[in-house]
Amino acid sequence: MPATALMKVSYYDSKAEIGLECYADTVVIEQDGKTFYIAAIRLGGYPESVRGLVDAIYGGGSVKIEINEETYTNHL
């Protein structure tokens, strides 16, 4: 069975100057035209970071997901 690469998920709020970073092994993306939305995500990392990122996702905004040296911006 081949190894699965983890995806780096990051969020940055420039107004509050807060940045969060976690890793995900599963991300489900929905596309609406040229806009991508996260339908489901399974995060891992420090509990404080995971909780903060979950709160950011529920609050709206966008996160960046890095997969194999490529970065994708997804709206929430």
**Residue 64 in this model has a pLDDT that exceeds 60:** yes
**Residue 1 in this model has a pLDDT that exceeds 50:** no
Residue 64 CB partners (closer than 8 Å, separation 6+): 9, 10, 11, 71, 72, 73, 74
Q: Give the three-state DSSP class for 56.
A: helix
The tens digit of pLDDT for each residue in 14-52 reads 787 888 899 999 988 888 888 878 888 899 888 998 998
- What φ, ψ does residue 46 adopt, rounded to 5°? -65, 140
Q: Give the three-state DSSP class for 63.
A: strand
